[in-house]
Structures are given as structure tokens and as C-alpha cells.
Amino acid sequence: MIEENNKEFNLRPSKERAKIHINEKSKIAEKAMMFIHDSGTYFFDSSTILQLIAKKIDKHPTIYTNSLDSFYILSKKDNLLVNLIGGDFNKINRFFYPKDLKDLKFDTAFLGAGAIKHDGIYYQDEEDIPLKREIIKRSKKVVIVAEHQKYKSDALYKAIAFEEIDVIIVDPISTNSFLEIVEEQEIKFDPKSIIIL
């Protein structure tokens, strides 16, 4: 059996990860809902937490996603407009990685994390990195959602520096790990940034 706290956690397929830490992920999803408003335009990453947020939405936003699973969930809702950003498909983690986002702009980008390390947010798939960086450039606000095992996970490719993040939402178990990282690395968040524990 694979230990959830070691680096092999991120090697699990997306469907397996969606069944793990449901309570923690649900709490994060509830907190994230405060950043979704009627008539807003949002990007949803391929995170399993974003799938839970997709299930909870009862407002009237426009959502773009590269996640096949989030698109499927959102497409069943009558109250919102959902757009799938297509491209080459990653079968294991079930996301598309497009080469061009055209003229898209977002009020808020909601992004998961493969791993949270001392210098930023990392992901397992190299082809995912250019998209994450482009999404950040096109978003007024960047919200990271991550449960506690992401501090013990490993991923190869850095995509996001802490100073690019406006809001970080973590579950209560993450509090100590997150604060240790901030203290050890002397990370200076923008005073406008919000950390929700």
C-alpha cells in the first residue's frame, strides 16, 4: 500500500486521489465558495478539491476549466456557463493542456497543488506548467487550495512562487506545516494576501 505522506502520493491517478481526505477537501471547498460570485469569470484547475467546489456551486458564474471531471460536474448545472479549454489530454490526471488561451481573462483562478515546498507550488506534469503560468498572468486573483498531505508530497516542476498567490486555503491539519514553511523561508506575502486556515 502506498503511504499518503510520501512522494508516491502524487503518482496516484486523479480518480484515486479524489477519494482521499474527503472531509478536509470539503472544508476547503466550503471556504473557497466565498470567492465565487454571480456574473464572475473563473478558471478551475484539475484539482480534486475543485471538483468538490464544482459540486457545491449554486451561483451564476462563467467557468473555464481544463479538467475533464470538473467540466462533467459543471455541465449538469443549469445556473452557470461552463467552457472546456481543450488541447492535448493527460489521461492519468485527466486534464487538457492547451497551447493558446486566446483572449481569456479571469476574475479569479482556482488552482490546486501537486506539492507545496519552501519556494512555491509544484506540479507533477511538466506540460501543466506553461498553462498554470499563463493562467496566473490572465487572472486578477489567484487562489490556491491544498490539503495537508501536499506539504509532504513531492513534485518535480515549480509553477508558482508564493508572491504570485493572493489567497491560500488550507485545511486545519495544514496549519503547523504551512506556518513552519513561512517562518523557515522568511516568506513575505503581500499584505493584501489572505491565508485561510
Quick: pLDDT tens for 80-111: 999 999 888 888 888 887 777 888 999 999 99
Confidence class of residue 21 from pLDDT cuts 50, 70 and 90? low
As a whole number, mean pLDDT of residues 165-169 equals 92
Calculate the average pLDDT of the chain.
83
Give the residues across from 105 on adjacent strands.
none
pLDDT of 17 strictly over 60: no
In this prediction the pTM is: 0.84
Instruction: Among 19-33, 49-63, 82-96, 168-182, name the one with the lowest average pLDDT.
Output: 168-182
Give the residues across from 62 on adjacent strands.
41, 81
pLDDT of 3 strictly over 60: no
pLDDT value, residue 50: 95
